[in-house]
Structure 1
């Protein structure tokens, strides 16, 4: 291949790259489970919007709340799993992540602010959570891998 052909190929690929990226954009399906109805989902959607994920444009957000009734979480978790989201997000605390963990072992689950994810039985350890769960620990156990971020 001659130098000019090579440069033309590289320039052409560089110009086509944004078009290819645009064509590959798709609707991302996220399901959110919370215990309380008044939990601020804007704490969740705001940062996603900052990253370019806009509900209705490239983000489909399904939200279910147990409205303060923990016994409803299991049914709502099953309902969200049936929507086949790309990722499940568990609201603040331990109960929502536990319900989602019981509902699926294949869809990735991200939990927010669980005090002790090891003690709650959500992860095996902080360095290597195992399974399909990951997230943030509010007060992780003291260990070699201990930090304010979990998993």
Structure 2
């Protein structure tokens, strides 16, 4: 299996982001402006971005998606209009997608039957961590697909 699903113990982290419900057709265009907005707000309160960009998806997407788009930060800070949450350490199913974001659906098609076969009890959200820095060749982009266990 190319996405190499396995169980990991993940460290806790703090996320600062914007949560919204979007039409699926608008999701891809929401990332860049949201990251710029979050980065500016984080810097304005004196916090620091310390980890990868992320998108946390709540529930199963249909023609709309409930998503929080954000960045890992160094501490909990007050940021009006933003979600700032501590994510505790957790066990999760983790898989890896390598390649353009436009092909993420291929990795999910590979992963989902395995998840169903293993019958894990999952939490009500999942997270994509975008581990590659801006400017990375699209064929080399690394995205972690994280399904916390319930």
**Common fold, TM-score beyond 0.5?**
no
Name the structure with the higher helix share: 1
TM-score range, shorter chain: under 0.3
Name the structure with the higher strand share: 2
Q: Which has the larger radius of gyration?
A: 1
Q: Which one has more relative contact order, counting CA pairs under 8 Å at least 6 apart?
A: 2
| TM-score for both structures, normalised by structure 1 | 0.23
